Amino acid sequence: MNTVDARPCRTVAVALTGASGMPYGLRLVETLLAGGCRVWLLYSQVAQIVARQEMDLALPGRPAEVEALLGGRFGAAPGQLRVFGREEWFAPPASGSNPPDAMVVCPCTMGSLASIAAGLAGNLIERAADVAIKEGRKLILVPRETPFSVLHLENMLRLARMGVVILPANPGFYHRPQSVEQLVDFVVARILDQLGVAHTLMPRWGEDEV
């Protein structure tokens, strides 16, 4: 596989919301940790339901327990993965004085997308996204919805004009995937490319697999 030249890994906030597509978000966390990045994980209550429905994964309600569960599952180094609660207002991503270098909401519900577009901050996910926008940090939203309504599209356009990356969870098929995991990796690879994080998830277009 080919490796992407990239800037050194840094701190990335990953938010899991209640849209379908939890395998994308957790695979992203796994690959970021494997790449040496520090990950700040945020998750909604509905994300816990979706994780159980789609992956038979019981995400605990206590952030410290999620940190231990996923840190062990993905082989995180001590301190590499930090998990914050929905109303943990003293968490680093809640303030522009200590924002992550980038933030990804994956999967992203239309409700979360609308709240971010409107500048709302009713929970830590929305506040962290608001901070990312105001501080000029890269913000990537990975919506998983179909079809999109006019309202959804208008909210996406509004965010795109602010510099937010709208990266729908739309896997391609030109690499001839043989498994669901390869479809997931297609989308995760596109996210990692946007973050400038090196990966070997799939061959590049026009280059032979090695």
Question: Binding-site residues for dimethylallyl phosphate, please?
Answer: 174, 190
Using omega within 30 degrees of 0 as the cis cutoff, is the peptide bond preceding 100 cis?
no
CB under 8 Å to 175, separation ≥6 — which residues? Answer: 182, 186, 202, 203
| Binding annotation | 18-20, 44, 109-112, 144, 174, 190
* Measured distance CA(40)–CA(15) in Å, rounded: 8
Q: Residue 64 contacts by C-beta under 8 Å, 6 or more apart in sequence? A: 83
All residues at 6 or more sequence positions from 92 whose CB lies less than 8 Å from its CB, including other chains: 40, 98, 99, 100
Contact 187, 108 (CB under 8 A): no
Annotated binding site for FMN: 18-20, 44, 109-112, 144
Show Cβ contacts of residue 182 under 8 Å, excluding neighbours closer than 6 positions: 175, 202
The span from the CA of 192 to the CA of 6, in Å, is 10
